[in-house]
């Protein structure tokens, strides 16, 4: 059984009481906190102030979620405050940007690197990436420039490594390269790069290193050994387009991607980095998505993985479908759809098993959406 309720500003809280998800419904922690110990705090805005698409959110140590830059809001940043179910503006970026990467640093700060400067975008020329990097400090709510990277990053992915370094991989086809950032010394160094990396591939941290998704016709992921600075291919995956990744609490990784033309291929599979083995999942319920487009959001929240929205068709049409995979039950379950169909939205896991879905583009593309929804059990 599924129930839902709307909270301030049109935010949806989806409550799941479905045996197929392997858990019982529970009251969201954020909802209880907001009614008890935040009465004296200034009221947060019920909705985000900016539309964003193709962006990411970073959970801060204090429970807020940071969003910075992006299409239509390249210099603006704001945070979602779960305890007040609202939004607050923070300082502007040192460098306006979109298509950039963000990664958490030791101590709670956040690194922003690469992307494009909208003031330098030329529709008649190839886009140029940025070497500019900056750090957000949640204690001051301000951004400050740090040492620039050695090379320009146009469509980068970034992830924290053991020991506090950050690995940044440029994910433009034909321009795959990598660097490591040392926040303690504020320095950059070159790093080995994977064999391939595309804009819709995911880069995630696993035990001892990093995994990167492999789209197109590939059947394997690539794994980065942080100590040796080397990449190696994993065992072959049971399906193509295993480029979208979500890490489970036990260290396994659910890999999925665009729907394949081969009906015999599973929709997703689980990779175990410890044993270098794969286990296919049951089929994903949706029939909406096609091989042509993806743009769905994928996020792990506890032992569940949420696959949210997406697109299909030419031109792409946004989807409102949501499915949840349960590690306990080993099955996918379709749940209530989004209020707004979204492609290119972000999904961020919140404390207490909830998921914040923000931005993206609507049914026929168009400008980024300045709306958000909270899904959870």
Least confident range of 12-21, 257-266, 359-368: 12-21
Q: In this structure, how many other beta carbons lie within 10 angstroms of the beta carbon of residue 121?
A: 12
Average pLDDT of the residues in 104-131: 91
Q: What pLDDT was estimated at residue 35?
A: 30
Does the structure show a pLDDT above 90 at 299? yes
Q: What percent of the chain has pLDDT over 90?
A: 61
B/e letters for 16-35, b = 16+ CB within 10 Å, e = fewer, are: bebebbbbeeeebbbbebbe
Tell me 116's DSSP state. B
pLDDT tens column, 235-266: 998 877 788 999 999 999 999 887 655 555 66
pLDDT tens column, 327-361: 999 999 999 999 999 999 999 999 889 999 999 99
Strand partners, 373: 357
Compute the CA torsion angle 333, 337, 342, 347 (nearest 10 deg): -60
- Which are the contacts of 180, defined by CB distance < 8 A and separation ≥ 6? 161, 165, 166, 167, 168, 188, 189, 190, 191
- Structure-model confidence comparison of residues 208 and 377, the more confident one: 208
Q: What pLDDT was estimated at residue 312?
A: 77
Does the structure show a pLDDT above 50 at 15? no
Confidence of residue 314 (pLDDT cuts 50, 70, 90): confident
Element (H, E) at 269: strand 268-272
pLDDT tens column, 33-60: 333 343 444 568 999 999 998 889 999 9
Confidence of residue 29 (pLDDT cuts 50, 70, 90): very low
- Structure-model confidence comparison of residues 171 and 13, the more confident one: 171
Does the structure show a pLDDT above 80 at 66? yes
CA–CA distance, 243 with 102 (Å, rounded to integer) = 19
**Is the Cα dihedral 189, 113, 241, 333 positive or negative?**
positive
Average pLDDT of the residues in 56-85: 94
pLDDT tens column, 180-215: 999 999 999 999 999 888 888 999 999 878 999 876
Strand partners, 346: 358
- Structure-model confidence comparison of residues 293 and 8, the more confident one: 293
Q: What pLDDT was estimated at residue 311?
A: 84
Q: What percent of the chain has pLDDT over 70?
A: 83
Q: What pLDDT was estimated at residue 123?
A: 76
> DSSP of 119-181, one letter per residue?
GG--TTS----B--EEEEETTTTEEEEEPPPSS-BSSEEEEE-TTS-EEEEE-STT--EEEEE
pLDDT tens column, 121-156: 777 788 889 999 999 999 999 999 999 999 999 999
Q: What pLDDT was estimated at residue 243?
A: 87
- Which are the contacts of 321, defined by CB distance < 8 A and separation ≥ 6? 286, 288, 309, 310, 334, 337, 338
State pTM to two decimals. 0.85
Of 276, 296, 279, 277, the residue nearest 288 (C-alpha): 296
Q: Are the C-beta atoms of residues 304 and 323 closer than 8 Å to each other?
A: no
Confidence of residue 5 (pLDDT cuts 50, 70, 90): very low
Does the structure show a pLDDT above 80 at 28? no
């Amino acid at each position: 059984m599924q129930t839902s309720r709307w909270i301030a500003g049109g935010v949806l809280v989806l409550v799941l009481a479905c045996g197929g998800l392997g858990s019982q419904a529970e009251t969201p922690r954020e909802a209880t906190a907001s009614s008890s110990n935040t009465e004296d705090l200034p009221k947060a805005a019920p909705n985000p102030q900016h539309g964003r698409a193709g962006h990411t959110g970073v959970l801060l140590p204090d429970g807020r979620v940071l969003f910075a830059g992006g299409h239509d809001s390249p210099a603006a940043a704001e945070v979602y405050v779960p305890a007040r179910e609202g939004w607050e503006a923070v300082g502007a970026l040192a460098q306006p940007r979109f298509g950039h990467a963000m990664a958490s640093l030791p101590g709670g700060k956040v690194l922003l690197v690469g992307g494009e400067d909208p003031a330098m975008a030329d529709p008649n020329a190839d886009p140029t990436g940025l070497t500019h990097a900056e750090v957000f400090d949640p204690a001051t709510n301000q951004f400050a420039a740090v040492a620039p990277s050695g090379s320009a990053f146009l469509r980068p992915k970034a992830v924290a490594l053991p020991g506090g370094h950050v690995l940044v991989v440029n994910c433009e086809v034909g321009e795959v390269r990598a660097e490591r950032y040392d926040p303690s010394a504020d320095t950059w160094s070159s790093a080995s790069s994977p064999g391939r990396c595309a804009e819709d591939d995911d880069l995630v941290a696993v035990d001892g290193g990093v995994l990167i998704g492999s789209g197109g016709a590939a059947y394997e992921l690539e794994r980065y050994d942080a100590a040796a600075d080397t990449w190696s291919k994993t065992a072959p995956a049971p399906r193509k387009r295993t480029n979208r990744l979500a890490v489970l609490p036990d260290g396994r990784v659910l890999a999925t991607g665009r729907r394949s033309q081969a009906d015999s291929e599973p929709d997703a599979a689980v990779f175990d980095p410890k044993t270098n083995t794969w286990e296919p999942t049951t089929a994903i319920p949706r029939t909406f998505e096609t091989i042509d487009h993806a743009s769905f959001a994928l996020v792990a929240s506890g032992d569940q993985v949420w696959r949210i929205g997406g697109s299909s068709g030419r031109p792409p049409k946004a989807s409102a479908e949501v499915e949840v995979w349960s590690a306990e039950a080993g099955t996918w379950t379709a749940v209530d759809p989004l209020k707004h169909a979204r492609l290119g939205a972000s999904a961020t896991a919140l404390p207490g098993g909830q998921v914040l879905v923000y931005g993206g583009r609507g049914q026929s593309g168009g400008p980024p959406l300045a709306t958000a929804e909270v899904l959870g059990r």
